[in-house]
Amino acid sequence: MHLSRVTTTCSVLGHARGLPQNLEMEERFNTEAACVEYLQQLRWPEGFVCPRCGTEKSWQTCSGLYRCQRCELETSVTAGTILHRTRKPLRLWFRAM
């Protein structure tokens, strides 16, 4: 009985945040690139903004990090989140959510 409450609560919370459910989630986030794109839209809906200096100019490094053109800070879409420095694929984390 307690487990069903937790499952229901997680489903409601996931739906409330606008996350697709079950099969739709698997289809939408079927690649690592799709997961990264979704996180980019959440973190920087108007485009990249450096968390250190606030500039909007950057480029992506070969490893997928954003490098600020002004202060040269390198950051990622997962920096400062629970996904920061994860070694697991984002697809796996999205499935768990």
Does residue 71 register a pLDDT over 50? yes
- Residue 46 CB-half CA count within 13 A: 6
Does residue 96 register a pLDDT over 50? yes
pLDDT tens digits along 15-50 = 445 666 678 888 889 999 999 999 999 999 999 999
- Report the chain's mean pLDDT, rounded to a whole number: 83
Which SS3 state, helix, strand or coil, does residue 63 take?
coil
Give residue limits of the domains in the chain: 20-96
CB atoms within 10 A of CB 82: 7
Give pTM, 2 decimals: 0.71
